[in-house]
Amino acid sequence: MHDEDTLITEYIELNPDKPGLDQARIKDYAVSVWALIGYSRAVDGDLARVAHDYEIPTIYVEAALAYYKRHQAVLDNRIAINNGEVVDLLHPA
């Protein structure tokens, strides 16, 4: 396992088109961190399956998990919004 700081620095970026910690994405693939985390829950945390299904290296999924640990509340809220569990007052449809 790699150092979390290194994983985040090397593989995660903020989305220049969608500001906010909840919009961070995987470098080189532009997959949202929140999407990877939400999917990992659906597959019982199987990182290899997440990587396979999203067609990205596993290290990127590890980086998403490292980022999630640092910004859990924000990302949990974003996942809840995506699932229709809460209303996003900052970004109404």
In the chain the domains, ranked by start, together with CATH numbers, are 4-79 (1.10.10)
Q: Residue 88 has what pLDDT?
A: 57
Q: Residue 19 has what pLDDT?
A: 87
Q: Residue 82 has what pLDDT?
A: 79
Where do the DSSP E strands lie in 1-93? Answer: 12-13, 25-26
Q: Residue 83 has what pLDDT?
A: 78
pTM given for the model: 0.85
Q: Residue 12 has what pLDDT?
A: 97
Contacts 24+ apart (CB under 8 A), 82-88: 82/34, 82/35, 82/38, 83/38
- Please report, rounded to a whole number, the percentage of residues in the chain having pLDDT higher than 70: 89
Half-sphere exposure of 93 (CA within 13 A, CB side): 5
CA–CA gap between residue 72 and residue 68 (Å, rounded): 5
For the chain, the average pLDDT equals 90
Q: Residue 81 has what pLDDT?
A: 82
Q: In which residue ranges of the chain is pLDDT below 50?
A: none
